[in-house]
Amino acid sequence: MSGLLVFGRTGQVARELSAFPDTLCLSRAEADLSDPGACAAAIRAHAPRGVINAAAYTAVDKAEAEEALAATINAEAPGAMAWACADLGIPLVQISTDYVFDGSGVAPWKSGATPAPLGAYGRTKLAGERAVQDAGGVHAILRTSWVVSCHGNNFVKTMLRLGRARDSLTIVADQIGGPTPARAIAAACVTMAETLVSEPEKRGIYHFSGAPDVSWAGFAREIFAQAGIACGVTEIPTADYPTPAARPLNSRLDCTTSESVFGLSRPDWRAGLTDILKELGEI
């Protein structure tokens, strides 16, 4: 093929990528990331113009008990992809996460900031970034946050379900970040991959998240407002909602480099939310 090869078919971003022309999305049966060698072989077999890795182990809490498996999927597989891409001279776009940072402070994280992941998921995604870099090929690592869409499991769908069943919810208010529509991430990945084909000097690490930054509690209120759900929101600190994996409090991402290099403006998540609710038949 001469188009873009995508790892992933059922995830939020992969589902959106499948709608783009000239993309081929591989299912787990066609390329299982728990078998890194099979991923490299798929790239060589298809000989695409570029590769986007939209598949990952994303069960943040479960990763605490399954770090070895998460590392195979999130680090070893992208590394194998990157070496195959480097051999073929084609670009790889690897999706990463705000979880590579410890969430300290309040300033947006710059792409060159020193990572310090709090848990297994963040550690394995950071290892994946480094494996991609070590291959030495043309690549873009795209860190994003708080992915939402009408597909799969995500915060929007959880709030719709719980909001209709309860009069009020307690929602964490001291974690701040940018909800990011999966459709916008998919478009950004395609833009980056296509650009790197002709401008390999633009390789590097980039950030991309929705605007404006908001807390989970603030996000929930907007979901209820747009969907016409009369559910109150009581703000609580993260400390009152313990989870197996620690969450970064500050997930703000500085996305200025993505805009200056690739022309990618931060998407307005409120408009993206409206689109998602329409697709779900909520409004």
Active site residues: 121
Long-range contacts of 126-129 (CB under 8 A, 24+ apart): 126/96, 126/100, 127/71, 127/74, 127/75, 128/74, 128/75, 128/77, 128/78, 128/79, 128/94, 128/96, 129/94, 129/96, 129/100, 129/205
Backbone angles phi and psi of 74, in degrees to 5: -90, -20
- SS3 percent helix, strand, coil of the chain, rounded to 5, is 45, 20, 40
Beta-carbon neighbour count of residue 256 at 10 Å? 14
Please state the separation of Cα 236 from the chain's center in Å. Answer: 25
